[in-house]
A and B are shown apart, each in its own frame.
Chain A
Amino acid sequence: DQQVKQNSPSLSVQEGRISILNCDYTNSMFDYFLWYKKYPAEGPTFLISISSIKDKNEDGRFTVFLNKSAKHLSLHIVPSQPGDSAVYFCAASVPGNTPLVFGKGTRLSVIA
């Protein structure tokens, strides 16, 4: 029973355009959501997070949107750059320093 789902295994976007990565969750106790980026042979790198008391958090080219009623979040990258090509993982946790629950990831390819 997957509590965090990333239904698109891959996404291809042209350089300069917007990339939108989606994530759905089922556990209503989740109150903190994160996006990680992973290059081959490296560990996941923290990208951006959002608390359940917010519906948007922005950091440079990256914006995360949270829709609690739909149990859905998305990561927007604009403009997309070739260096953004990686696997992106959505993760969620219940309150406190607790283990993260990850989705299966979406492989983003940004084409020059």
Chain B
Amino acid sequence: GAGVSQTPSNKVTEKGKYVELRCDPISGHTALYWYRQSLGQGPEFLIYFQGTGAADDSGLPNDRFFAVRPEGSVSTLKIQRTERGDSAVYLCASSFSGPNEQFFGPGTRLTVL
């Protein structure tokens, strides 16, 4: 069956530009999570959705970062005025309600020049 998919797989942008990263969760999964992984680190939580609403956005580093999930399925992570420090792999995961086994997509590697 289809797993979590993320597009694009790679994104190179210039400092100051706006980017959107997309996540398609596993069909039927109600919870969707965004994480960011920097080199040599484990994934770090950014934001998570239950259905359409953001249940917890405490991991977003600042107000340049925003995410939506308007129909409770696909989610978009939006980063305004990108900075070089935003360069990382952005991971999306989804899960059913119940045991907290989250299934990850392949990630989007963002490079800000």
A residues within 8 Å of B by Cβ?
Answer: 4, 32, 34, 36, 41-46, 49, 51, 89, 91, 93, 96-105
Contact = CB atoms under 8 A, between A and B. Distances in A.
Between A49, A91, A99, A103, the greatest number of chain B beta carbons within 10 A of the residue's beta carbon is seen for A99
A44 B43 contact: yes
B56 A99 contact: yes
Contacts of B107: 42-43
Given A42-B106, A43-B107, A99-B59, A93 B44 contact: no
A97 B97 contact: yes
Interface of B: 4, 6, 30-31, 33, 35, 40-45, 48, 50, 56, 59, 91, 93, 95, 97-107
A36 B35 CA distance: 14
B89 to A, nearest CB: 9
Contacts of A101: 45
Contact of A104 (B41, B59, B97, B98): B41
Contacts of A93: 100
B4 A100 contact: no
Contact of A49 (B30, B33, B101): B101
Contacts of B59: 99
B38 to A, nearest CB: 10
Nearest to A105: B42
Contacts of A100: 33, 35, 43, 45, 93, 100, 102
B43 A102 contact: yes
B106 A43 contact: yes
Given A97-B50, A97-B95, A97-B97, A43 B44 contact: no
